[in-house]
Structure formats: C-alpha cells, structure tokens
Chain A
Amino acid sequence: MKKYQLGEFEEVVMLTVGILYDEAYGVSIKKEIESRLSRKVSVGALQSALVRLEQKGYLRSREGETTAERAGRPKKYFQITAYGKKAMEYTKSTRDELWKAIPKVALDVKMVG
C-alpha cells in the first residue's frame, strides 16, 4: 500500500502541526520541534517539508495576522486536513503492526547488546 507517503521528518512536522493546533506557523513549528525533540531544524528544511505536505493535500494553510517583528509579513498558519489525518493514522497503524510483529526475544537480545 503506497497510498500514504510520509517521510520521517514530514511525520514529525505533521504531528507538531497537530500539537500546536491553531498556532501552527513556520516559527512556532520550528521551535516546538526543536524543544520537544531537541534537534536543530533549518528554516529551509521545514519550509520545503511544509510545501511538500501542502502539495500532497495533508495540510492546508490560511493567512494570519502580521506583527512588527515580521516586518509586516503575514503569518501562514497550517492545519491538518482530513486526508492528512488519514495519512498519519495509516503511518501509525503500519508502525504498530510492525511493532507487534517483532518477537519478544529479538528485542530482549537487543537491549542487552
């Protein structure tokens, strides 16, 4: 089933957009990922991921308010679409299935190693 394609970083972005719900725009998403996962996110990587996700129809955007710090440019808020939700659920369920399929022994060994 290649129906829903979602890369690792894309998934993180989708989840974060979900967490922020009504407050998800470029900078807030970036900060949220950086604080929660303590990893650096470049504006370029984030923006290209957002563009891709919007093109795939997982996210939709609307224009928001402007502030002085933004030099008069509007914020662009993102929201998860129904289709996007399906894609996330699909990804999660495939993961879960895979998890379940792992024999307990295999994991034990790993932990020791």
Chain B
Amino acid sequence: MKESAVGSDGPPKIFLRLFRWYCHPKLRDAIEGDLAELYHEHVTASGKRIADLRFIVDVLLLFRPGIVRPFQHRQPFYNHGMFKNYFTTSWRNLISSKFYSGLNLLGLTLGLSVGLLILFWVNDELSFDSFHSKTDQIYRINVNLESSGNKFAVPVTQPTVAFYGLKEVPGIKQAVRVSDFSNYSVFRYQNTALKGNVTVYTDPSLFTLFDYKLLQGDIKNPFPVTESVILTQSAAKRFFGNEDPMGKVLVADNKDNFVVSGVVADFPGNTWLHCDMLFSTELTKKKYREWGWRPFDEEQWGNYGWITFLQLQPGTSVKAVEDQLTKINIKHQPTLKPVDIGYYTLQPLRDIHLFGSDGNPTGMQTVKIFSLVAFLILLIASINYVNLSTARAVLRAKEVSVRKIIGASRYQLFLQFIIQTLLFFTIALALSFVLISLVMPVYNELSGKSMHFDLFAPETWKVIGITFLATLLVSSIYPASLLSSFQPAQALRQKLSWGVGNASFRKVLVVCQFTFSVGLILATLIISHQLQYVLGKSLGYDKSHVFSVNMNNMGGHYEKVKAELLQQKVIAGVTSADNNIVNVPGASLDVDWDGKDPNRTIFVHSTKIDPDFLPLFNIPLVEGANFTGAATDSAHFILNETAVRETGIKDPIGKRFRLYSMEGTIIGVVKDFHFLSLKQKIEPFVFSYQPESSRLFVKASGTDIPAAIRAVEKIWTQYNEGFVFDYSFLDQVYEKNYQSEERTGRLFSIFTGVAIVISCLGLLGLATYTAQRKVKEIGIRKVLGASVRTLSLMLSKEFMVLVLIAIVIALPVSWFLMQQWLEDFAYRDNIGWWVVALTGIGTVLLAFGTVSIQAVRAALENPVKNLRSE
C-alpha cells in the first residue's frame, strides 16, 4: 500500500484539467486543494486505483451550478447577421464591377497557380530521400582527392571500404554497395525480349537500410541464389504481364539464366536509385573469380565503381568514422602515397540530391532561385490586388461612411474588408486548383518530374496553406485598414484629401512590380543565352552525324566490319574507342613522365582509340603525328594541350610517358577539345592505341542518315543474333548532359512570362481606373482643342515614368545577381549591352501598349457624352 503511495503520480490529468476548465476561478484553488488532499489520503488508504476512481466521481459530481464558472459573458462578440451581410456586400461588389473583378481574379489566379506550381516543385526537390525511416543515420561515402590545386570529389568508392568498415569501424551498423555496371543488354522471358533495362548490382542490405518496399520475396534473404534477380513492379509487368513473377526464369543475352526472387515497388521519383532490375553482389564476386580478378570484398582497392551507403549508430561521430575509413584505405594501399589515395567524407543522405559530392550546392541553388521566383510572382499578384482594390476604394467611401454613421466600429469595417479579400482569394484559389490540375501533366513533362496534384494529401495542403495565408495576409491588411479609416463627414462630402498620399503608395507598388518583372526578364535572357552558347559552342571536335553502338559479339571482326561499312556511300567514316568522346568523366592518377615532380599529381583522362578516330572527329594535331595502326603504336601516346601544359613536358614528341602499366613515348599533341561538361575546365587527356575497342562509331555522310543506320544494323545483327540494335547519336547524348540546365531555363522563361502578364494586368486595371476618373478632364480638354495624341500621352505619362524607374532599378541588380549564376560555368559568354537595352525598351513598349489602349479609348470618346451628366 505504501508503495503505491510513493509511486502515485497524481490524479488523472484529464479530469483534473476538466475540473480546472469548468470551475469558477474564485473557487478553483480551494476546491482543487481539497481534492488533492482527499486524493492523497485515498491513495495511502486504499491505493491509486480507488483514489483515481473517487477523484473522477468527485470531479463529475462537482459539476453543478454555483461551482461551474459562468460561460455566457466570456464569449466574444459574434454576430451571425453581420457576417452574412459582409458576404452579401462583398459578393455584390464583385459582381457589380465585372471588369475589375475579372482582371483582379485573373491576375490572382495566375499568380497563385504558378506560385503553387513552383512551390510544389521546390517541395518535391526538398523531399528527396526523406521518406526512409533511417534517413538521418544514412551517409554516402565520397572520395576526395586534391590534384594540382584542384579539389575533386566523386560519389563512388571501392567495394572494399564497406567490407573492412563493417568489420573494423565500431559505429557502422549496416552498409550497402550499389553499382550500375551493365553486363547484359537483352533479357528474355519466353517470347518477350526487352532491352534498355537499367540493371544494378547491390548488397541484400539495400532493403533493410532503405525503405524500398519489397512486395514479394524475403527481405532477410532477397537473393537466395547467386543468379537471383529482383524486378521492379513495372518491369515485372513488362516481362510477365499478370503472371506471378516469382521463380520465373529470365534469360540474359541468350546465355545466362536468372531466377526472379523478388518484386520491389517502383522507385519513387524523389529517391537517388532508379533501376528496373537488381542483381546480387554475389554475382559480381562470382564473375570476378571467373575473370581471375582480385577478390571483390578484400582486394579491389583500385575499383572506384561503387556507390556506398553506411548506416551509423545514432551518436556516432561522423568525423571519427571518416578518419578510420581513410586510415583503412591508406593501410591497404602501401604502394601509393596517401595524397594520391585521398580521403573519405560522409555525406548525409538528405543532402545528396541537392548538393554535389564536393559539397557544392548545385541543386540547392536552383531550389533557392525557384523559391525566390515563386515569392516574387506571389508578391506581384498580391500587389495587383492591393492596387486595384485601393484604387477603387473611392467607390466604397460612401458605403463605409454610412456604416460608420450607423454605428459600425473600425474593427467591424476592418473585418468586413478582410472577409471580402478572403472571399476573393478563395474564389481565385478554387480557380487555380482547376488550372493546376489542367496543366500538371505538361508541367511534369517540362520539369522532368512525376508530381501528382492530390488535393487530399497533407503535403499539398502544407504548401497551399502557407502560400494562401501569406498572400492573404499581405494583400488584405493594407486595403482593409485604408478603407476602414475614412472620415465619414469628409468622405460623404467627396473631399477625399487622403487620396493623394495613398496614390503615391500605389505608385511605389507599381514600381516594385515592374522591378521584379524586368529583373526576371533579364535573368531569363541571360540564362537562355548561356544555354544557347553552351549547346552551340565549338567543342573542338565534330560530332555531327556520328552515332555509336556497342560491338557486343561483333568484337574480333572489327576490321572486316569496317571494310564492309566503308564500301557504302552513305557512310563517311568508322572508328572504335572505349569511351564516348562526349563525356569522359573518369580520370586516373596512375601516370608518370620524365621530370615529374614526385610531390605533385595530376588527374589524366584517357581513351583508347584506333588510327581513324582523330580524323573522324576532326580533332586537329598541333604537333607530331597520328597513330598509324602499326604494332609499335601500342607504346605510343597522344596528349592534349592541357596535358602538356599541366605535366610541364617540354618538346613532348618522343618523350617518355606512362599510363597505368603502359610505358611508351609521346608521338603527338592534339588541340584541346571539350570532353566534359562545359561547366568544367578542359583537363589533361591522353589517347592510347588499341586496334579494336568495345564501342563502334560511325559517321554518316549526311545524305541519307537512315540508310547509314540500316547498313550498320544489317551487319551488326549478323553477329548479334537475338540482340536489339541499340544506337545513339552523339548530338543527343551531348544534349542530355545539359538537360537539367535546359529544363531550368525553359521553366524560368515560362514563369517570367506569367510574371509580366500579371504585372500588365495590374497596369491595365490602374490605367482604366485613371482614365475613368479623368473622364471630365479629358472631355474639357478635348472641347478646348486637345488632340487624341496629346491626350493619350498625358494619360500614359504617369505610368511610363513608373515603369522607367523600375527599369533603372531592375537592370543593374538583376545583371549583378546573374553574374553569380554564370560563375558556375567555366566557359561563359556574357550577353551584350544591347540585350539589356532591348529588355528595357521591350518592357517600356509592353507597358505603353497596355496603358495606351485605355488612354486612346478615353481620348476618342465623345466629350459631350461625358460632360452632359451632373
């Protein structure tokens, strides 16, 4: 019994709270004290359970008149009738001036829709890989190297790190390695043969580390045999239709069989992994053994091909794990200098989408830019609303005055106009829902995402709620406080002296609006100009009409195939290499030359080619000669200019050079060409000789490209029976490298278009209003002999000054900000001053066009009609 008294933690909270809530505040303390005292006694006497029960009964019995606090006079003033009236007047107001309401609604709907679309995109970007339950414990290993002052980080590492890390580093709970080597090109089940499946090799821990849902199969043992394969749901559907895929056999390239051991739910759009089929690393190990390679887990220290994720125990020091892994790496490669091995860093899973492996916020920057654009567009739309509703405030002056005279308080009037804004915004929001769901498919295509507009998802409402409330707040407070501030006596006498001050506020807002719009226009122009420059830049080689295909089983017959192909008129050239020249990202430090500074290392990119490679791609030699195809060529190298400069070799022809274990001499130097993204500088490059490589490049003569493709396909299929002919044009591969920039550019120009449209809508509304207000002035001027031209100019002048001010502010600011974006590109081209000037002139013309429509219309009207009344 005593124990229960000690262990008691007070009476049931919820009933205590109930009591406190209903009890009269004057009595509350004393009665609660009594209850507590009794409770305490009951606990000691008969235990907590009984005491609780008695407490509850007491609390319930205490609920009686005299003790319950009075409720009626604490309630805030609420008047149903008044609210109804607010809605009625708001609605009538909306209906009575269809033109303004229409303009306002259109601007607001556009603004909200585009703002929301951008924010959905931003939200999707930020949500990458946040859905895993262990997200915060997962890190990716990046390898960092520094060469000749260049820092360099890659997201792939050796398979051995995870193996030794798990064994020797205490904080590591789980590890998973993933690689997308593709050993097979075609998979077949009965009569269904499919190519183009993205295949990866992975450890079974993939499914326990990440929350990828294994729909079928054993999560503890997803690959029961070495030749197991796990398919995604849609891949399984493609192969097997509605049949149960489990246990079915897929034939790879007509030689190897794989058993389907599991089906994983399709990978969501916002995760790092995208593939169709998953194989086990056990298979990799087996292949390495078959090829006589070093053991996969223990000795593959030179194999930088595996994305490795670690799950750390909560509370583990990331830095400590990084250091321990780096030490392990250095310990196992005693022949290399630590500086050449580099060091490991762990990057949190949450960051890998928006930050590069070197920590550069490449994706984050776009997210920030887009957030800013969304903010500006919403602001422009809000300004529109504020301007149009305050400009027309005069018309409401009488209504406000009468309400005040009857006895409305300022608070009530304020509320009335807030409600009016709310009504307006709700209609606009409903319309933008319709608009968003209509354009969502197009938007997805443009942005390369697969977002759904689901009105019932909490995620959607998070975005909508914040946007809606923020814009509502910005747009409602100023008009409401202005409208409710009228002095009835003055307003009824039409002495609207307050109008002067608030017109200038409107002018400030118009300037803001156009500053944003003009800034966005210039930014768009700079982005698209840079992209045009990148895509059209001379790369130092000619890739036109060149397509490439994997040799596969054609290997060994290259000379014969080449001779056959060259007989065709439609084919201009044939060559083979082991890399696609469009993108050669991999580089090695394992190089040496005479006079090399032992403390300085450089990365060298390399490709094996045959003698026809340089002529086919039209890469000019600066010095020396091309490969000839002679046997001695296997000890010959051709360097690019950057390599010569970086290595510091003087008179390179005939000098010694070593790449991996290949010793030889330099026989030529080629002019620099771009084999990386144009964001990067040209790096050292070396060609070595190999009479036949895995990739075939064919240059069509350009007269009949389809015929050239058919010719290659015909020969190719002779050797590759049962395979699918899979070719790609280098132009397309190249453009793919800039896909994300192009997307950003395209989205950006659309958003800018919307911003300028909304701004012009606002201007149109204001101009119309001004023209209406000055209708008598115009009439009198016209009667006195003013021409239509001078009248239009007079009306437009007021606005054009504002637009000019905006341009003067916006152009330099936007120019300056865009220079920072351009800094990302190693090769950039700035737009000329004339583009900036054109932006300014274009905006002026657009604004002038918008305003003058109204001005001319007002000036053309018959003055008699306007002057007759009153």
Contact = CB atoms under 8 A, between A and B. Distances in A.
Q: Do A and B bind each other?
A: yes
B37 interface: yes
Interface in A48-94: 48, 51-52, 63, 66-67, 69-76
A18 interface: no
A44 B35 CA distance: 10
A67 B37 contact: yes
A73 B33 contact: yes
Given A43-B35, A67-B37, A48 B64 contact: yes
Interface residues of B, number: 24
Contacts of B36: 69-71, 73
B67 interface: yes
B695 to A, nearest CB: 82
A42 interface: yes
- Which of B33, B36, B63 has most chain A Cβ within 10 Å? B33
B38 interface: yes
Interface residues of A, number: 23
Interface in B53-109: 57-58, 60-67
Contacts of B393: none
A69 B57 CA distance: 19
Contacts of A47: 27, 31, 34, 62, 66-67
B124 interface: no
- Which of A25, A47, A51, A69 has most chain B Cβ within 10 Å? A47
29 contacts: A26-B33, A26-B34, A27-B37, A30-B34, A30-B38, A43-B34, A43-B35, A43-B38, A43-B62, A44-B63, A45-B61, A47-B27, A47-B34, A47-B62, A47-B66, A48-B64, A51-B27, A51-B67, A52-B66, A66-B33, A69-B40, A70-B34, A70-B37, A73-B30, A73-B33, A73-B36, A74-B29, A74-B33, A75-B30
Nearest to A72: B33
A52 B66 CA distance: 7
Contacts of A69: 36-37, 40-41
B297 interface: no
Contacts of B33: 26, 66, 70-76
A70 B30 CA distance: 9
Q: Which 6 A-B pairs have the closest CB atoms?
A: A73-B33, A44-B61, A76-B30, A26-B34, A70-B33, A44-B62
B585 to A, nearest CB: 70
Nearest to A71: B36
Contacts of A73: 29-30, 32-33, 36
Given A27-B38, A48-B66, A69-B36, A43 B29 contact: no
B60 to A, nearest CB: 8
B66 A26 contact: no
A26 B30 contact: yes
B58 A43 contact: yes
Chain A contact residues: helix, strand, loop or mixed: mixed
Interface of A: 25-27, 30, 42-45, 47-48, 51-52, 63, 66-67, 69-76
A48 B67 contact: yes
Given A44-B60, A47-B34, A66-B33, 19 more contacts: A27-B37, A30-B34, A30-B38, A42-B57, A42-B61, A43-B38, A44-B61, A47-B62, A51-B27, A52-B66, A67-B37, A70-B34, A70-B37, A73-B29, A73-B32, A74-B29, A74-B33, A75-B33, A76-B33
Contacts of A66: 33
B508 to A, nearest CB: 58
A51 B33 CA distance: 16
Interface string B836-857: 0000000000000000000000
A46 to B, nearest CB: 9
Contacts of B61: 42-45
A84 B326 CA distance: 90
A48 B30 contact: no
A82 to B, nearest CB: 23
Contacts of B30: 25-26, 63, 73-76
Contacts of B65: 48
A76 B37 CA distance: 13
Contact of B67 (A25, A44, A71): A44
Interface in B1-53: 10, 27, 29-38, 40-41
B826 to A, nearest CB: 71
B770 to A, nearest CB: 69
A81 to B, nearest CB: 18
Nearest to B43: A69
Contacts of A70: 33-34, 36-37
Contacts of B64: 44, 48
A72 B37 CA distance: 10
B58 A44 contact: yes
Contacts of A75: 30, 33
Contacts of B10: 71
A52 B27 CA distance: 12
Contacts of B37: 27, 67, 69-70
A35 to B, nearest CB: 14
B54 to A, nearest CB: 9
A48 B31 CA distance: 11
A75 B38 CA distance: 13
A43 B58 CA distance: 6
